[in-house]
Structures are given as structure tokens and as C-alpha cells.
Structure 1
Amino acid sequence: MLLICACAVVSGARTVTEITEWGQRATTTVLEEFGIRRHLLGRRRAPSHATLTRLLAALGGDALDTAIGAYLAEHDHTDIRAAGSPPRPAIAVDGKALTGSAHRQRRHRHLLSAVTHAPAVTLAQREVGAKTNETAAFRPLLEPLDLAGTVVTFDALHIVKDQVRWLVQEKKAHYIAVIKGNQPTASAQLKALPWEQVPVAHTAGPTGRWST
């Protein structure tokens, strides 16, 4: 049933009614591939509106995201060197408003995601509540992931000493972060460095291939 929901949403469905209609239009072959069992009369029937409503109401969004992310992480065996990516696997942490989630007086739902750079695979994501912010979701998002040896990239919002220390000391990860005005001391220290004397170690061409 979750496959029906996912395919319907990818196809443009935005409500339970539209998801139900998508399932009802699906062929018997599609329903069979989705694992829909035969009815007592011998035919496969898509789940009803009431069934999908109960399913989605009982489903924990964060738990589903965690399960899907774990599956994708386990099956992501792409050879990053062969793909022309940097030697260390890289994961970007970024937040985005969920397209199509705004409805009438309800604002867009906001998600914080951890996505591999190449190829792009979403390993984890969490909803950022209206009464909190991305910073509070940073550690819960990355906690389940094996980050040892990876490079985690994120923007200035997540430059919090405790979180960066946790990332390096406990998760054994490296990081690249943007420093802005919210960290005036670090920003001044970086600006004072002799950048013109730093040799260029890596370059990336228009196709994204790295060279040293």
C-alpha cells in the first residue's frame, strides 16, 4: 500500500482521495507487482479511501524516513572513485520546504535531509517542526548514520560548537562548513589566513570530474 501511495504522489497526487483514485486506475499487473493480494472473488483490488486514511494516520513519518534511509544506505554500493567523485564519500545536510505540502492556512512542511553528493541518495530526513529549527534536528538526523571517514557539508546555520565536536569526536567524520556572520570570531580568523599562499590541490571541471 505504501508503494501505491509513493507512486501516486510522484505522479502528482496530493490528497488521500487522489491517491485512492490512482490505485483504482492501476492495472492488475501493477497491483500484483505491488504485492496486493487477491480478493476472495479472485481479483486484486486497490485499497479503499478508508484503508489508506487509517494507514497514513497510523504511520510515523520519521520512522518511515529512518527505515527507507537505512535501506538506501545499505544498498548504496556505488564505486565513488569510478564515478569521478572525490575519494571520500560526502554527505550534504540541507533543509528544504516540501513542495505541495502547503494547504489553505497550513504552511509548507520543512524537512532536513542528509543526501550523498554523488550519486544523490537521501540517507535520512526529518521534519522540522514549526516551533523548532534545523539546528535542533541536526544530531537526531545524523545519529543513526555511519559517518566514519565521510565528509559532511552544511551551511552556516549548523556551525554550533557542540554539534561540530560531536560530529568529529563521536561520529569520526570530517566536515566542510560555510562560515558567515553568525560566527564572527571564526569568520575573522579565516579571513586573516594567507589564502593566496595556499596551493590548489583539487579542481572540478564542468562535468564534475575531479583532478589533482
Structure 2
Amino acid sequence: MPAPASSLIPAALDQLTRASESAPLSAAVGLSGFLDLVPDPRGVRGRRYPLPALIAATAASVLAGARSLTAIAEWISDVPAWACRALGFPVDPLTGVVSVPHPHTLRRLLVQLDGDALDRAIGAFLTARATPAGPGLRAIAVGGKALRGPRTATTAHVTVLAAMEHTGSVLAQRQVADKSNEIPPSGPCWTPST
């Protein structure tokens, strides 16, 4: 039985599904350095797991093939203790055991995360890994898409505009008005960069 649409992975992590990665754990550990761009939405009290560890583990599971929140939680609970330590999960000083978050903890966190900040962090990570383009012009495609998993208070879906290289790398994306098209929000994209 397929997972319900409400449990699909967050849109910002969808970029990672297109990244060809033979070692998802090493890529997720590399992503950890870029996660300072993501503000922690949780209260200061009761933080048991560091935010970079939670997001890096989520990213590693997506790179390993997880396509739903249930699959992400299962991957994290099945990964060996050494991998959890590499991702940044704390070790209990008394027992030496590395504990992993409950699936509800992950779900609550992923719903609360600032999607734009997570998108910028993942975009910066993918840009840093990308091979530099040769001299001259490069082709960029701009297109809109309605994402059926995420919702707003007034709509059953979120509409995003994305700019993407023909290599498959997403350069940027942002949420746009529901009844809009690609032309008005992409206006600032056409200014020359230096």
C-alpha cells in the first residue's frame, strides 16, 4: 500500500533525490556543515538531538532511497550506531549507547522547519559539490509546479517556481501565489549577475 500523500518527504529534500550519490552517509555528513543556515524551530528546553544531526540523518535516508516520512524514520532507526555518531547524534555518557529520535519527533520537526532556509542550505551544499561550469553562457530552465503533499491554510497544495540547470541541479526555488504563472515572480531572475 503506498504511503499517503501527507507523509511524503518535504519539498526541499526532494532536490537530494536527484543527486547521484553512491555514499549517502558521507554526503549527509558533508551537508551538516551547511545546516547552520537553518534556524531551529524547537524551544530551547527539551532539545535532545542537535538539529544538524536530525536533518543530516533525514537527508542520508533520502539519498539512500527513502521516499516517505515513515521510510525516513525506519532508515534512521535501522542505521548502525557508528553511522549515528558520524551524523552527529549524541552518545549517552553512562551507557555509550547512541539513541535515535522517535518518528513523531522527526515528523514534528520537519513540519516546523523553515522550508526556504532548508532549501538554501541544501542548494549551497549542492553548489559547493558541483563541478564549475565552463566559460560562456549556461542554460537555465524556469518552471512552476504544484506540490500536492504540502498544504497552506487556504489551499490543498503549494505552488513553487524553480530555476534549474540542464544538468538537473536546482539553483533556486520559491513559493509563488496559487493563481500566478512563472513570468511575474521570475522577473528578478533576469537581471545580469556579476
In 1, Cα distance between equivalents of 2:91 and 2:125: 28
Mark the CA change 1:136 to 1:76 in structure 2 (over 3 Å): closer, same or farther.
Answer: same
Corresponding residue number in structure 1 for 2:115: 61
Mark the CA change 1:34 to 1:137 in structure 2 (over 3 Å): closer, same or farther.
Answer: farther
Name stretches of at least 5 consecutive residues in structure 2 with no aligned partner. Answer: 1-53
User: Following superposition of structure 1 onto structure 2, how do residues 72-87 of structure 1 map, counting pairs within 5 Å?
Assistant: 72-80=126-134, 87=136
Looking at secondary structure, tell me which structure has more strand per residue.
Answer: 1
Query: Aligned residues: percent identity?
Result: 34
Deviation at 1:59, TM superposition (A): 0.8
Superposition RMSD in Å: 3.1
Give the TM-score, by structure 1 length.
0.51
Counterpart of 1:90, as a letter, is A
Give the TM-score, by structure 2 length.
0.54
Looking at secondary structure, tell me which structure has more helix per residue.
Answer: 2
Corresponding residue number in structure 2 for 1:29: 82
Corresponding pairs, count: 135
1:123 match: secondary structure: strand
Are 1:128 and 2:183 counterparts? no
Equivalent position to 1:96, from 134, 138, 145: 145
Mark the CA change 1:8 to 1:111 in structure 2 (over 3 Å): closer, same or farther.
Answer: farther
In 2, Cα distance between equivalents of 1:42 and 1:108: 44
Q: Is the Cα–Cα contact under 8 Å of residues 72 and 123 in structure 1 kept in the other structure?
A: no
In 2, Cα distance between equivalents of 1:70 and 1:13: 22
Instruction: For residues 139-163 of structure 1, give each alpha carbon's deviation from its aligned partner in whole angstroms, at most 9, with x where no partner exists.
Output: 57x4xxxxxxxxxxxxxxxxxxxxx
Mark the CA change 1:139 to 1:68 in structure 2 (over 3 Å): closer, same or farther.
Answer: farther
Corresponding residue number in structure 2 for 1:47: 101
Deviation at 1:7, TM superposition (A): 3.5
User: Following superposition of structure 1 onto structure 2, how do residues 188-207 of structure 1 map, counting pairs within 5 Å?
Assistant: none
Deviation at 1:21, TM superposition (A): 2.1
Mark the CA change 1:127 to 1:8 in structure 2 (over 3 Å): closer, same or farther.
Answer: farther
Are 1:137 and 2:174 counterparts? no
Corresponding residue number in structure 2 for 1:70: 124
Corresponding residue number in structure 1 for 2:61: 8
In 2, Cα distance between equivalents of 1:19 and 1:126: 24
Deviation at 1:24, TM superposition (A): 0.6
- Bigger radius of gyration, 1 or 2? 1
